[in-house]
Homo-oligomer: A and B are copies of this chain.
């Protein structure tokens, strides 16, 4: 997983970096609050295994909401499409990711899609395993395989902080339990979910995972089909329709790349048949997306004609 420095990407980063001042880093837990808002890094991973980068691409970030796509893939592998979509819907929403309204006003009482928190919790609930540890181990190994990086683990401090402040997610869980969408112990599910969000990767890891999605599930190095193509297709669709919280529609127009962001400032992009992109930039816009990261993706999409549309 060597990654070559690219002057071209460096130039784009310098240009995009000025937008970091338009946002701020996530404030709700110390580990995120302390991030350097001025950092910006990008890695591009190609199907032939080559990789180009600029900025501090070895800087680690927690997956946060980016994990929603990966757990969705694993849950689809574990349970199949029918079971998964019995528990969560397929429709995008104009509401913020943490909105509780839609749980009540659209029937049946299932979360609208797997990218909003309530839906992601329902997906994590479906991961197979006898214990939280076993289920998490399976997920972690899946992430390691996709990233081709067996050293990936999770940040215990972040997991702990998030567990302690996850009141809204607990509210979602009990609401889902009331409506029989989930039936496990809530504290266990929150434990699993916060660990999942705290898995730490760097931009190169993200780019390589994105590359697997870009290549319909085929590993760029081993050429093995590590995710079934039908599962990848579903994941990429959600990345387009709901990957950027309630800025997904705007992102689809302006950038047009299947991508998923997280409040740690990470963005994982999957340009179909072309490449995977991993970005780190902790300064967030008011929707929760990396403000300079999105600008960078927009520049790259225009310069290299990456939009699907």
| Chain A residues within CB distance 8 Å of chain B | 89-95, 99-106, 112-113, 167-168, 170-175, 177-178, 186, 233-234, 236-238, 240-242, 246-250, 252-253, 256, 258, 272, 307-309
Contact = CB atoms under 8 A, between A and B. Distances in A.
B100 A103 contact: yes
A12 to B, nearest CB: 21
Given A94-B92, A309-B258, A233 B253 contact: yes
A112 B253 CA distance: 14
Interface centre among A105, A186, A238, A252 (most CB of B within 10 A): A252
Nearest to A113: B249
Contact of A241 (B168, B175, B178, B248): B248
20 contacts: A89-B249, A91-B92, A91-B249, A92-B241, A94-B102, A100-B100, A100-B104, A101-B101, A101-B105, A168-B174, A170-B170, A171-B171, A234-B309, A236-B309, A237-B253, A237-B256, A237-B309, A238-B249, A240-B252, A241-B241
A234 B251 CA distance: 11
A239 to B, nearest CB: 9
Contact of A94 (B112, B247, B307): B112
**Chain copies in the assembled complex:** 4
Contact of A174 (B90, B92, B170, B307): B170
A169 to B, nearest CB: 8
A297 to B, nearest CB: 15
Given A92-B93, A94-B94, A94-B106, A309 B253 contact: no
A91 B241 contact: no
A64 to B, nearest CB: 18
B178 A167 contact: yes
Contacts of A236: 309
Given A92-B93, A171-B175, A256 B233 contact: yes
Nearest to A270: B309
A93 B90 contact: no
Given A100-B175, A101-B105, A174-B174, 9 more contacts: A90-B253, A100-B103, A100-B104, A101-B104, A171-B175, A233-B256, A238-B249, A241-B249, A241-B252
Contact of A172 (B90, B171, B238, B248): B171
Nearest to A93: B94
A174 to B, nearest CB: 4
Contacts of A177: 167
B178 A171 contact: yes
